[in-house]
Amino acid sequence: MKLKVITLMALTIMMAACNKQKTGIDMKNLDTSVNPQEDFYQYACGGWMERNPLTAEYSRFGSFDKLAENNRKQLNDLIEEIAKNKHPQGTIEQKIADIYNLALDTTRRNREGVEPIKPIISEIEAVNDRSSLSALLGKSMDYALWAMYVDADELNSSMNILKTYQAGFALGEKEYYFDNDTNTLKIRNAYIDHVEKMFRLFGYEDAAERSQVVLRLETRLAGAAKSNVELRDPMANYNKMSIQDLKNLVPQVDWDVFLSEMNIHTDSVSVGQIAHLQEAGKLLSEEPLEDIKTLLIWQTIDGAASYLSDDIYMQNFEFYGRQKSGRQEPSPLWKRAVSTVNSTLGEAVGQMYVQKYFPPEAKERMLQLVYHLQEALAERISNLDWMSDETKQKAQEKLAAFYIKIGYPDKWRDYTDLDIDPQLSFYENLKRAAKFEQEYSLSFLDKPVDRDKWYMTPQTVNAYYNPSTNEICFPAGILQYPFFSMEADDAFNYGAIGVVIGHEMTHGFDDQGAQFDKDGNLQNWWTQEDKEKFQARTKVMADFFDNIEVAPGVYGNGKLTLGENIADHGGLQVSFQAFKNATKDNPLPVRNGFTPEQRFFLAYANVWAGNIRDEEILNRTKSDPHSLGRWRVNGALPHINAWYEAWNITPQSPMYVEPEKRVSIW
């Protein structure tokens, strides 16, 4: 997609219109009892936090969630209208209606109980020799000791390749199996109790013994897995080899049988985490067969729990919702139904969504904002005093090569081959949908990368940068207030969606993105000296966030959140410069007592307004590569010189960071 060139006259007209627009700042979001120089997050967001308390449904609720709630209601209106009527079999309307109605039908699910997954459990229990395990693992996605998927080859980004990824431990982060602090022990003990209760619900009298087997085998797999920080190193997680080399690497698996069951035919694979895959192979040959079967049965139960009877659903929620994240109640049934339709027919629903809720002029203005952000980042790269001209040229080439996606795809996905049958159970239909997704992913194997493919649906309240295609994507779902407003002036839009745009652009140059060239290949384009300077500057960021106490005695993980923190920093720097460029000939006035610069930073802070439970703070500190919302404001802004000037931050402010200790990258 080519960037739209904005003529001088068009820019003049646009700027004149902006001067008549609103501030976009909701004064009720502020907590004016707090000094902004002492706690900017509380000052900017305290009113919002008070007016949007956590309900029992949420462990965290912020601006993203509030907008997603609005989107969900809009989607529900669209889906409900379809679900009221009968539609010809095979039509998109029939598929949407039936999966939605199945999701709402708890009476039927309570009547069916565990019956929908009994055939899968019976198939696992019928295995009586190790030679059958390879076929069993390849046959179904209901259980996995490792994952397999298709994505771009990091060293040949124009082609797709088969990849493996570590799996098999339900708690997700390996630290949950090994850390012995009070909070982690509490979660681990609750997990053992949960596994036992679930086995009992499925009729197993030896549930307690089985829960211990599950913990032991998952701990073994987790022990060989990489941590979330280690997973951030793309080169260390790229290990391309022939299928014959894969056979030699993990001989305990009959790869011919496994790949045949998955209907995979290829000559090569990239093994993401070698030690973990080898450990999975050893587990298959060393552990008692009955124990392996117990783990696979557990994975089947765990994966199906959200789609079966209410008692099973609620026990699943009790652990993952209440114990692990602090939620007090599950989401209402209608929300879960909408989410299910979204996950199975996302682009079909998205097509309806953008037709009704996303005006073409919003896409046009976003293109203009992206252009200005791209221009500002180019200026900042040119003016860097720590980077050589040689590396600058490569950075500029990469920036100019960004592939930009806004709103919705140019071509929509085809769901013809997805068969939704209301005569089958809810779970069985979701299995069909999962199989459809697997076949869709595998259809790209060993084929050229489709740069027009989207990795988020249009209704998603988020954005992304993809290093292998060097693309930035902003779905229609996020292009709404408080991120973007056609009625608000540039101080607001550059402070909110502008920083989001700059954030995604900067991901192309964060600690991971900087390892990929303009074509998306994992290839060094830095001089050695520049690379060392870059790493020294990013270390300042990692160390700063390592020292933030996010809860009593619990500190942030600056290495895990480094990429996102770099992107926040770059997004703020770049968008503020773009904002100043855009308004230099037509400066905005003081409004509501705030200068345009102050409104820029208020708009940014309001993007991260939110409330969060203590349990979720601990959960996200272990697992989330994003810093908590409070620290995306109070941790990011002290490194932005323009914020000091706008808000008169002095050395007496508790948020003040000495200039020589501030992060300075892009």
Spatial CA neighbour of 295 closest among 135, 427, 167, 201: 167
- Asked if 114 and 308 touch (Cβ cutoff 8 Å), the reply is yes
| CATH number reported for the structural domain that contains residue 490 in this entry | 3.40.390.10
Note whether 18 and 123 are same-domain residues: no
Task: List Cβ<8 Å contacts ≥24 apart for 379-386.
Answer: 379/577, 379/581, 380/573, 380/574, 380/577, 380/666, 381/666, 384/666, 386/530, 386/533, 386/537
Note whether 251 and 153 are same-domain residues: yes
Domain hosting 38: range is 8-66+359-416+450-661
DSSP character string of 559-581: TTTHHHHHHHHHHHHHHHHHHHH
State pLDDT tens for residues 110-156.
999 999 999 999 999 999 999 999 999 999 878 999 999 999 999 99
341 falls within a domain: no
554 falls within a domain: yes
Note whether 147 and 296 are same-domain residues: yes
The whole-chain average pLDDT of the chain stands at 95
* pLDDT for res 487: 93
State pLDDT tens for residues 286-335.
999 999 999 999 999 999 999 999 999 999 999 999 999 999 999 999 99
| CATH number reported for the structural domain that contains residue 219 in this entry | 1.10.1380.10
Note whether 652 and 503 are same-domain residues: yes
* pLDDT for res 14: 38
Which two three-digit tokens encode residue 374? Answer: 């791209």
* pLDDT for res 21: 56
State pLDDT tens for residues 225-244.
999 999 999 999 999 999 99
Look at residues 268, 290, 307 and tell me which one is the last residue of a structural domain.
307
Spatial separation of the C-alpha atoms in residues 171 and 508, rounded to whole Å: 30
343 falls within a domain: no
* pLDDT for res 97: 98
DSSP character string of 43-73: HHHHHHHHHSPPPTT-SEEEHHHHHHHHHHH
Exposure on the CB side of residue 426, measured as CA atoms within 13 A: 27
Q: pLDDT-based confidence at 7, cuts 50/70/90?
A: very low
Note whether 399 and 479 are same-domain residues: yes
Spatial separation of the C-alpha atoms in residues 491 and 596, rounded to whole Å: 5
| Average of per-residue pLDDT across 96-100 | 98
549 falls within a domain: yes
List Cβ neighbours of 158 (8 Å cut-off, separation of 6 or more): 152, 448, 449, 519
* pLDDT for res 5: 31
* pLDDT for res 142: 84
Whether the ω angle into residue 625 lies within 30 degrees of 0, i.e. cis, is no
Q: pLDDT-based confidence at 208, cuts 50/70/90?
A: very high
| Average of per-residue pLDDT across 507-524 | 96
Residue 80 has pLDDT above 60, yes or no: yes
% of the chain at pLDDT higher than 90: 95
78 falls within a domain: no
107 falls within a domain: no
666 falls within a domain: no
314 falls within a domain: no
* pLDDT for res 6: 29
- Asked if 663 and 540 touch (Cβ cutoff 8 Å), the reply is yes
Residue 3 has pLDDT above 50, yes or no: no
Spatial separation of the C-alpha atoms in residues 104 and 97, rounded to whole Å: 11
- Asked if 292 and 284 touch (Cβ cutoff 8 Å), the reply is yes
Look at residues 307, 322, 344 and tell me which one is the last residue of a structural domain.
307
| Average of per-residue pLDDT across 68-78 | 96
Which two three-digit tokens encode residue 603? Answer: 């708009």
Look at residues 268, 289, 307 and tell me which one is the last residue of a structural domain.
307
| Average of per-residue pLDDT across 386-401 | 98
Note whether 398 and 530 are same-domain residues: yes
Note whether 301 and 363 are same-domain residues: no
Angle (deg, nearest 10), helices 360-382 and 499-507: 60
Note whether 302 and 377 are same-domain residues: no
| Average of per-residue pLDDT across 460-479 | 97
* pLDDT for res 507: 97
Tally of structural domains, the chain = 2
Note whether 191 and 284 are same-domain residues: yes
Residue 539 has pLDDT above 50, yes or no: yes
Does this model's pTM top 0.85? yes
Note whether 288 and 364 are same-domain residues: no
∠ CA 538-539-543, rounded to 5° = 125
Q: pLDDT-based confidence at 20, cuts 50/70/90?
A: very low
Residue 515 has pLDDT above 50, yes or no: yes
Q: pLDDT-based confidence at 360, cuts 50/70/90?
A: confident
Note whether 477 and 547 are same-domain residues: yes
Residue 8 has pLDDT above 80, yes or no: no
